[in-house]
Amino acid sequence: MFEKLARPRYSVLVKLNIRTYGDPVLREKSTQIVKITKEIRALADDMIETMHAAKGVGLAAQQVGRTEAIAVLDVPASYDVDEAGNRLHPDIPMPWALLNPEITEMSEESEACEEGCLSFPDISAPIPRAKEITLKYMDIKGAQQSIHLKEFMARAVQHELDHLNGVLFVDRMSPLKKIAIAGQLKRLRRETQEVLQATT
């Protein structure tokens, strides 16, 4: 399990709609944020609220129809552990907003783990990701940061950075898995088209 922890049992009123597979905005690349304005802070807050309402652990701008280079995460402490159960990144304050994030280093060692995505309801698949990364980003106060990440946290950040580059986890699935879920993907694309037509 990844972006989605569990299906919400009831619909909740949230500020932003989550865009699903087939929406062209998910293929757009982000533009860098040059200044942290009131609007950027409000966007981060709204994205965090939307992610929480959807019971997700990560959300990128494209998933709410925007293209600023911003992603938010809220990784539960129980996910942020090594194999022995030791906490890996206790100093990262959650929820966490990443502005203009960029991976500067990536471990050669990769691992495939099951991932989900809020833009792909009810779909999950094993996705190979680097086990460790070094991440450069600007925090919500405008300070430049660099941090080394491992395991689930590294995976979550790689997933969100993909979104900011218009890349979706379906692009990283094995050909066999893609064939297995082709029907589901087709249905989801059709549903997304219907929503887009109804709202434009």
Q: Would you please indicate which residues are annotated as catalytic (active-site) residues?
A: 160
Rounded CA-CA distance 24/107 in Å is 31
The residues, any chain, with a CB within 8 Å of residue 75's CB and separated by 6 or more, are 57, 58, 92, 94, 96, 152, 153, 156
Report the 10 Å Cβ neighbour count for 163. 24
Nearer residue to Zn ion within complex by CB, 43 or 123: 123
Nearer residue to Zn ion within complex by CB, 89 or 159: 159
CB of 119 to Zn ion, least distance (A): 5
> Residue number with the shortest CB distance to Zn ion?
117
CB of 123 to Zn ion, least distance (A): 10
Rounded CA-CA distance 163/173 in Å is 15
Nearer residue to Zn ion within complex by CB, 117 or 181: 117
CA nearest to 165, candidates 75, 73, 32: 32
For the beta sheet containing 58-60, the strands, ordered from the edge strand earlier in sequence to the opposite edge, are 58-60, 70-73, 96-106, 132-138, 144-150
Q: Integer distance in angstroms from the first to the last C-alpha of the chain?
A: 33
Nearer residue to Zn ion within complex by CB, 94 or 121: 121
CB of 28 to Zn ion, least distance (A): 14
CB of 50 to Zn ion, least distance (A): 13
Residues forming contacts to Zn ion in the complex (CB under 5 A) are 3, 117
In 43-109, where do the E strands start and end?
58-60, 70-73, 96-106
